[in-house]
Amino acid sequence: MKRLPLSLRLLSRRAPGPYTVQRETAVPVPAADGVALLTDHYAPAAGAPCPTVLVRAPYIRSGFPWNLLYGVRVAEQGFHVLLQSTRGTQGSGGEFHPWRHETADGVAAVEWLRKQSWFTGELYTLGASYMSYSQAALAADPPPEWRGAVMQLGHTDPYDFFWAGGAFGLERAIVGGMALKQGGATSGDLLIGALRLKYRLQRAIRGLPLLDAYPSAFGGRRPQFEEWLTHPTPEFWEGASMSAAAGAMEVPVSLLLGWWDLTLNQVLDQHAALRAAGRDVDLLIGPWTHTSALEKGWTEIFAQTMRRLRGEPPAYRVRVHVGGVDEWRDLPDWPPPGTRAEHLRLDSFDAARGWQFRYDPTDPTPSIGGPLQSPTQGQVDNAELERRSDVLLFTSDPVERPLTLMGPVRAELDAATTAASADLFVRLCDVDPTGRSLNICDGLTRMTTEGRVTVDMGHTAHVFRPGHRLRVQISGGAHPRFLRNYGTTEPVGPATRLVPTETTITPGSELVLTLV
């Protein structure tokens, strides 16, 4: 073990922990089939017995911020920390494939741990995004040494991650595709990739066919991206989902996410399953996105993490940030007891643009705000989006007393379209007395025939204050968050034909809220 490099020592001077940290890099740990998975080991320099925290992902050893946030910050609190590159990434042996080997390789890492003189038999797991998936995969064959899990900003079902609602999650696939590749991505690779993406994104996502246009965003082809894009049916993804294992975890679990995270529903489904099974689980939801949480919410997140790793009783069962009033609330469950469903007919709202819109895939309705990984992510003023003629607006009268939402939101729309395929993107906004319209939650569903269409808009905790109005946006997409609908039933990868769509919403359509 060696002392930390100067860069990490300087970074760790701010709010240091009680222990000085040393580390050993690129330790070869045998995988399930014997190939070496490179692992960085951080540990307190004092050498006293302490628990171990395992973190596994394709990009975890790429450097900042993971080496600081998970390596140094956790080790200086008195833990051995292992940051392991999954197979085929960052020097680890074998062939990388997302999701395929994580259970067996996670079990192999624990088997190696058992042979280390410093391992006390107390194991915890930790991490965000793909690191949460690798924890869920370990739950499919849980080791007896496992004491607790901290799953941050996670996903457990790749099919739902990319194809929820029937439309391909283009932006998340492109951003994720930069890091998830054979051979791995260093910090420098990610920086170069981000710059390339900034200048080439529009050409990549607007060119046809998409299978030939997208490589400009990556500087070459990515087999994993092409697999995701060309398999819109669940059969291909069988065996990849770890939702059942995640919902049956017997170890204590801490869940963290943001209201504009990429997989809000997946995490809340896991929480509901664990609660129903009587498991020890706590839930923290903040005003964050997938890429902002570990920066803007670090104080709350680190406190939740350390309580779980130290085996302390949770400070709350559920803690949520409530929009509209900008406050935190501790709750006994999610949704909290005493909520009810409220059905609001859209024909009771002011329909500023009528009930029909034209969606043109050559000029697709853009994605602004919400669960993105671009500069417009999170909660933003929707003025630019609402000026477009292809976005219907339904606005209520000002509310007379506080209206508190705590739970799921959905739209029940009677709709018809002129094309073979169309999307319905629905968003709920809070319009203040000055006219500023802030997005609260949203969702998209693909339709191919006319009739009743349900659009799942996720969950929220939000208070509409007196004088504020509810606004419902309805449009034909949110590109590139979701791949634009071509108006045909052709496979989207090789397709070159674009057909405009006329979509009609009929009175009787409803917004369904969960109210306290």
Evaluate whether residue 327 is within a structural domain: yes
Question: In this structure, are 350 and 318 located in the same domain?
Answer: no
Q: For residue 448, count CB atoms less than 10 angstroms from its CB and return exposed for 0-12, middle for 13-18, buried for 19 or more.
A: exposed
- Which residue, of 331, 351, 386, is where some domain finishes? 331
State mean pLDDT over 489-497.
Answer: 96
Question: Is 240 within the bounds of a domain?
Answer: no
| Residue 440 belongs to a domain | yes
pLDDT value, residue 182: 66
What integer pLDDT is reported at residue 463 of this predicted model? Answer: 98
Indicate whether 202 belongs to any domain. Answer: yes
pLDDT for 196 beyond 90: no
500/399 same-domain check: yes
Please report the pLDDT score of residue 47 as a whole number.
Answer: 83
Question: Residues 340-349: what's their mean pLDDT?
Answer: 98
pLDDT above 90: percentage of residues in the chain: 86
308 in a domain, yes or no?
yes
Tens of pLDDT, residue by residue over 249-260, are 999 999 999 999
- The vertex-473 CA angle with 467 and 477, nearest 5°, equals 155
192 and 296 belong to one structural domain: no
Calculate the average pLDDT of the chain: 95
What does the pLDDT read at residue 13? 81
Distance CA 27, CA 87 (A): 14
For residues 350 and 496, membership in a common domain is answered with yes
| Domain-ending residue, one of 275, 302, 331 | 331
User: What residues pair up with 322 in beta bridges, in sequence order?
Assistant: 327
- Decide if pLDDT at 388 tops 90: yes
CATH code at 115?
A: 3.40.50.1820
Structure tokens at 410: 């959905």
Is residue 59 in some structural domain? yes
Residue 60 or 192, more confident: 60
Shared-domain flag, residues 196 and 71: no
399 shares its domain with 445: yes
- The confidence band for 450, taking pLDDT boundaries of 50, 70 and 90, is confident
User: What CA–CA distance (Å, rounded) separates 427 from 444?
Assistant: 9
Helix (H) or strand (E) holding 212: helix 210-213
- CA-based nearest residue to 442, from 415, 412, 394, 409: 409
Which of 300, 331, 362 is the endpoint of a domain? Answer: 331
Same domain? 145 vs 19:
yes
For residues 110-123, average pLDDT? 98
Residues 463 and 426 in one domain: yes
- Kindly report the pTM of this predicted structure: 0.96
Q: Quick check: is 246 in a domain? A: no
pLDDT at residue 396, as a whole number: 98
Domain that holds residue 195: 169-231
> What pLDDT does residue 227 have?
94
245 within some domain: no
Residues 200 and 291 in one domain: no
**First and final CA of the chain: distance in angstroms?**
55
Assign residue 347 the CATH number of its domain.
Answer: 2.60.120.260
Same domain, 10 and 87: yes
Residue 62 has pLDDT above 80, yes or no: no
DSSP 323: B
Same domain for 460 and 360? yes
Q: Which carries the bigger pLDDT value, residue 229 or residue 15?
A: 229
pLDDT interval class at 309 (50, 70, 90): very high
306 & 455 share domain: no
CA 96 to each of CA 29, 58, 88, 183, 220: distance values in angstroms, whole numbers, following the listed order: 16, 8, 4, 8, 17
Number of domains composing the chain = 3
Residue 407: partners with Cβ closer than 8 Å, 6 or more residues away: 334, 335, 336, 339, 459, 460, 514
